[in-house]
Structure 1
Amino acid sequence: MADPILNRHSREDGKPDSTSSESLITQNIDIWTTAIERKSSAGRGTSNKFSLYGIKKLRELILELAVRGKLVPQDVNDEPASVLLKRIAAEKAQQVEEGKIRKPKSLPKISDNEKPFELPPGWAYERIGIFGIVGTGSTPSRSNPAYWEPPEINWVSSGETSDFFVAQTKEKVSNLAIKETNVSIYPTGTLIVAMYGQGKTRGQITELLEPAGTNQACAAISLVDKSVSHKNYVKLFFRKAYFELRKHAAGGAQPNLNVGKIASTVVPIPPIEEQHLIVAKVDELMSLCDALEAQTEASIAAHQTLVETLLNALLLPNTTQPADSQSASPESSFANSLEPALNESFIESWQRIAEYFDTLFTTEASIDTLKQTILQLAVMGKLVPQDPNDEPATKLLERIAAEKAQLIKDGRIKKQKTLPAITDEEKSFELPNGWVYTRLDELCLSVSSGSTPPKSELNETSGIPFLKVYNIQNQVIDFEERTLFVSEGSHLGKLKRSILYPGDVVMNLVGPPLGKIAIIPNTYPEWNCNQNIICFRPLEIRLNLYIYTYLTAQIFLNQIELVGSAGQDFISGTKSRAIVLPFPPLEEQHRIVAKVDELMTLCDQLKARLSDAQTTQLHLTDAIVEQAM
């Protein structure tokens, strides 16, 4: 059977026709699927850190083309929309005369400013309130249980408009509520538009699959023409007009639409035959979008799984004796900068990555995983070669222990409760020669958390900078916008135990997420913090960079026992003191930190180039949409 769309006439007025519009959609699949936008990192949640911007714009474009008459070709033999509207007007007048509906309020003539684009031949602009009947509902008194029990009639709230259809509602009202209140029952097929509500609710549209009443936050649109094509086209228009409707809302903290604004909405109406074809074509293309979305998300997930699998192979225990670190010859500039204490299995694993480096590290998630792997390799002794001439870490620990003992003897620091010996279960991996496992407390002059002073001691402009967890961003201190200061008197008084100095390592104790680490910068000579931050002050300041590197690797989070409640995780001060870390010789610590800095810089350069490429893709997507319009 011939496709009725293909047999229809194309435009001859020089404007983009439906064939070119559809080609624009189908011939740019690569653009739609590769235009990916990074989401804001603000807020909580475990949802994807990206959005499929290209496919989102494609969906918007399809709806826009549909209501402009550019998605399917016009047929000069179609009955004009004006004839359909005349029939609707006659039917509506008949219903008023028969007392089936009230006489609607007069609506103003459509002005030229309300016509956003020129219509194809046979189309017409008209207001919803002219070819439909717009009503609303109400909420029966909650103080009268008889209005809610027994629950007999579906009752739609604005929060139930997110799906294309609504059948059984969360709440129902009684027949008495229908009889005694302003709740009206609307028939199956009525379109329900949310006039106000939280978040994305305002402007959403759904369709009743069963008769129902609504609350006052919903507008109910009953179309005079009951054909499925007409109803689905109007529904399609509201999906397209979602953002424009939201702009028309008025009010303060929660802007509202109203029945008058819904009734006054201007809709481009095609001939009824074309409405049918438009809806069918939109359904077809939205199915294509669904398939592209699923395929793209699956591809991204599979890519990330591959990256994680290959990188995890680098973290496996050594299976052979260390080999000559120059025996590997990775191909990329990044690979050439990696000079770990190599063994044969590590070399093989890294060469697999190096061979496909440019293919593997093409997303922010993959580069972030690479950065985390670098940190883990660093503190496992796999990032730089060991030097047998380095002084073993045990010697440094002995000197630190002797110095701490002297400070305690002199009364300059308090003796802390002795921590238990490190068990085999706490040793995450076999250490290289010259390394030793130790607890953080053994390296530190002090490990202490802060507290919160009275609000009267805090201000936003002057005093001693006071840190909260939100000031630790991307593993550095961010004290540019959300600034808080504590009075010097409080700083030197009740908060004296939590004074912070440049070079101190700080970590959040409350999450999610845990593992937010930073080194106190020298922008201020002294700082302070609240009780959700703990400070590690190494006895030798030159140890701070390695301690920071180990904590940012986040290996310790797999071993530490967390306390949780009300959706939060908490690390106690005692658990923080007891954190076990692999401790290399001091000279190797310096080499590790330098190599990590070098590789992190390269990773940041990779991300910058990726960001530039993604921005180009977004602009290209926007340009294609603009061309289509």
Structure 2
Amino acid sequence: MQLLKHFASLTLHPKNAQELKDLILQLAVQGKLTANWRKENPDIENASILLERIQVKKAKLIREKKIPKEKPFPKIDTITVRYTLPKKWIWCNLGESIVLFSGRDLTPNEYSDSELKYPYLTGASQIKKDNIILSRWTNIPKVISILGDVLVSVKGTIGKTVINKIGEIHIARQIMALRTYDWIEIKFLKLFADSYLSQLQDASNGIIPGISREHLLYAEFPLPPIEEQKEIVRVVEILFKEIEQLDQLTVERIALKNDYVSSALQQLTTQNSQKEWQSLQPHFKDFFTEKSTIKKLRETVLQLAVQGKLTADWRTKNKDFDPASELLKRIQKEKAQLIKDKKVKKESPLPAITKEEIPYELPEGWVWCRFGDLITFLNGYAFKSSTYVPTSDYQIIRLGNVKDDNFLINTKEAYVPSSVGEVNLDYQIFKDDILTTLTGTKNRRDYCFTCLVKPEHLEQKVLLLNQRVGCIRVIDKSASELINKFLKSDIILNQLFETETGTANQGNIGSTAFKNLVFPLPPLEEQKAIVEKVNALVGLCDALEQEVAQSKGYSEQLMQSVLREVFNKK
């Protein structure tokens, strides 16, 4: 069929495999996979005769009290159904062609983790692809599922299905069993259930998501002749197998690229980087085709910057510059004067850097220092939400305003009146300040975001720092952009997160952790070269991410094109 020629393109992204499977299920239950088969087999029995036969057999089972009596099913309006069925198919309620059994929960004293007579299926977590993972058993003789039932999860996780290949199983109320008594091809019934349930998520209700018996019993069921059911199953299994093979190739391709990228980037950060960098650059577009690898590239760029490896060429061409040790002395002198002038508060002396704290050898002209030598640190004020007003000239900067390298000044807005703002100007934010979040999920490293305050952020409002947001104020303002970039590197972040405190769920980083950072300071002239280099390479990462997004967009457009081609084809 036409869909097959697009498989290789549509499986370039791993999540497309499931989308393709869902599409194939929809095509299958509409009879679009077996159009040629029907032309070659015109003499098959009409599905209406099959349904009549099923009704006779169900009536007999009811008389024999083997299944409960059913309420009359509503007549399906064939005018309002979603699509037209092929000839010899028929619409019916699913409940007209199967028998539905609801599960029943057992009390803890009725089951055991030790193997007893009957397996006990308690929920969707025990359904793994086409298998049931047994973990509990019972001796209760009222078995609700038998060999050949299609089991469906209907509470909590909705829509997991599996064919019972074990035998007698007790099922909990989170599970329902669809039984055909050999009236319908069991794999076709499962195929329909998978297609129907994937579109039924919005129908779930209650605190715990769930669907009712009526959702299944009154489902509009496109019933094909029994011979065509078998052919549909055969075709679907072939297509699924091909998708899985192509998907595995995609996974392997991505894994190989990730391995190569990881190895190359590791060499960049641990060896003489210039040679490795030159060999990697021609392959950027070939190997950095996933968000994960581009993320690694960004991280490596920052690590190379912090190690001085991005500017090795610059140093060979620029010998005549003052070493960073001279810059550090000047900054320390300037900070001491600010303290003397009472423009900043006097701080406790910082500890000397020990040999054990130094993670690597710096390039010539660089120097290790405590971060507190370079900055002052301002903790935010605990503004009370009861003082907030709809708008004013004083905006409170909270955690939600600070994202990684993004200062979201026009979102998460909160204001205080002038009477509150004017008395809290000690917490005012200025140009070239570096803001950082100090609180997040513990052990997740989803905070310590930093962003640089730029002139455009200060055009209309006075910005005041709220609690759990820190402000890093660099003594030498010209270094603010470089420091903001260095603070995003793993070399710096690892030091910060080693000091993480907090509760079981909430992690905190304090101002002392920032001040005590062991920080690599480059010479002033080289700082500018580093910033230019990082900006260029980050720009490259942005371009690569845009190409990935465009490739993904193309894949999605192709999927939609295939959908239109398939569904609009007469």
TM-score band, normalised by the shorter chain? 0.7 to 0.9
**Offset from partner CA, 1:44-68 (integer Å, 9 cap, x none):** xxxxxxxx24322321222122222
- 1:546 aligned onto 2:479: no
Structure whose residues are more often helix by fraction: 2
- 1:465 aligned onto 2:378: no
**Offset from partner CA, 1:333-364 (integer Å, 9 cap, x none):** xxxxxxxxxxxx44422221133333223333
Q: Report deviation, 1:547.
A: 0.8
2:60 to 94, 100, 122: 94
2:177 to 220, 223, 244: 220
- 1:246 aligned onto 2:173: no
Q: Please identify, of 583-592 and 561-570, the stretch whose mean Cα deviation from structure 2 is larger.
A: 561-570
**SS of 2:486 mapped into structure 1:** helix
Amino acid of the structure 2 residue aligned with 1:516: F
**SS of 1:296 mapped into structure 2:** helix
Instruction: Give the structure 2 partner of residue 388 of structure 1.
Output: 319
Q: Structure 1 unaligned runs (5+)?
A: 1-19, 37-51, 179-183, 318-344
Whole-angstrom distance in 1 between the partners of 2:542 and 2:518: 29
Cα distance 1:568–1:301, how it changes in 2: closer, same or farther (>3 A)? Answer: farther
Cα distance 1:528–1:508, how it changes in 2: closer, same or farther (>3 A)? Answer: same
Q: Report deviation, 1:550.
A: 0.9
Q: Report deviation, 1:217.
A: 4.9
**Offset from partner CA, 1:451-503 (integer Å, 9 cap, x none):** 5443323466556333343433242212333333455555566x766543232
1:563 to 489, 500, 525: 500
Alignment check: 8 A CA contact 1:126 1:269 kept: yes
Amino acid of the structure 2 residue aligned with 1:67: V
Alignment check: 8 A CA contact 1:161 1:206 kept: no
1:475 to 405, 409, 425: 405
Alignment check: 8 A CA contact 1:192 1:221 kept: yes
**Offset from partner CA, 1:543-575 (integer Å, 9 cap, x none):** 211111211223212344233553555433212
Instruction: Give the structure 1 partner of residue 212 of structure 2.
Output: 258
Cα distance 1:174–1:501, how it changes in 2: closer, same or farther (>3 A)? Answer: farther
Alignment check: 8 A CA contact 1:426 1:580 kept: yes
Cα distance 1:347–1:539, how it changes in 2: closer, same or farther (>3 A)? Answer: closer
Q: Report deviation, 1:441.
A: 0.5
Whole-angstrom distance in 2 between the partners of 1:82 and 1:161: 37
Q: Report deviation, 1:94.
A: 0.7
Q: Report deviation, 1:402.
A: 1.7
Aligned residues with identical type, % of pairs: 29
Cα distance 1:62–1:602, how it changes in 2: closer, same or farther (>3 A)? Answer: same
Instruction: Give the structure 2 partner of residue 519 of structure 1.
Output: 452
Whole-angstrom distance in 1 between the partners of 2:535 and 2:357: 28
Cα distance 1:477–1:170, how it changes in 2: closer, same or farther (>3 A)? Answer: farther
Cα distance 1:355–1:593, how it changes in 2: closer, same or farther (>3 A)? Answer: closer
Cα distance 1:298–1:461, how it changes in 2: closer, same or farther (>3 A)? Answer: farther
- 1:185 aligned onto 2:144: yes
Alignment check: 8 A CA contact 1:506 1:519 kept: yes
**Offset from partner CA, 1:51-107 (integer Å, 9 cap, x none):** x24322321222122222233423234443333222211111111122222221111
TM normalised by structure 1 equals 0.78
Q: Please identify, of 513-522 and 613-622, the stretch whose mean Cα deviation from structure 2 is larger.
A: 513-522
Amino acid of the structure 1 residue aligned with 2:494: N
Amino acid of the structure 2 residue aligned with 1:58: L
1:628 to 563, 566, 570: 566
Instruction: Give the structure 1 partner of residue 337 of structure 2.
Output: 406
Alignment check: 8 A CA contact 1:68 1:268 kept: yes
- 1:133 aligned onto 2:95: no
**SS of 2:99 mapped into structure 1:** strand
Whole-angstrom distance in 2 between the partners of 1:417 and 1:396: 22
TM normalised by structure 2 equals 0.85
Amino acid of the structure 1 residue aligned with 2:254: I
- 1:55 aligned onto 2:17: yes
Q: How many residues align?
A: 547
Cα distance 1:164–1:348, how it changes in 2: closer, same or farther (>3 A)? Answer: closer
Alignment check: 8 A CA contact 1:448 1:497 kept: no
- Equivalences for 1:443-458 in 2 at 5 Å? 443-444=374-375, 446-450=376-380, 452-458=382-388
Alignment check: 8 A CA contact 2:161 2:190 kept: yes
Whole-angstrom distance in 2 between the partners of 1:448 and 1:479: 19
Q: Report deviation, 1:279.
A: 2.0
Alignment check: 8 A CA contact 2:285 2:544 kept: no
Instruction: Give the structure 2 partner of residue 70 of structure 1.
Output: 32
Q: Report deviation, 1:303.
A: 0.7
Instruction: Give the structure 1 partner of residue 291 of structure 2.
Output: 364
Instruction: Give the structure 2 partner of residue 605 of structure 1.
Output: 543
Amino acid of the structure 1 residue aligned with 2:296: T
Q: Structure 2 unaligned runs (5+)?
A: none
Alignment check: 8 A CA contact 2:144 2:170 kept: yes
Instruction: Give the structure 2 partner of residue 618 of structure 1.
Output: 556
2:187 to 232, 235, 239: 232
Alignment check: 8 A CA contact 2:154 2:175 kept: yes
Amino acid of the structure 2 residue aligned with 1:205: T
- 1:500 aligned onto 2:429: yes
Instruction: Give the structure 1 partner of residue 243 of structure 2.
Output: 289
Whole-angstrom distance in 1 between the partners of 2:337 and 2:255: 55
Instruction: Give the structure 1 partner of residue 223 of structure 2.
Output: 269
**SS of 1:356 mapped into structure 2:** helix
Cα distance 1:104–1:307, how it changes in 2: closer, same or farther (>3 A)? Answer: same
Whole-angstrom distance in 2 between the partners of 1:441 and 1:533: 17
Q: Please identify, of 128-137 and 566-575, the stretch whose mean Cα deviation from structure 2 is larger.
A: 566-575
Q: Report deviation, 1:162.
A: 5.1
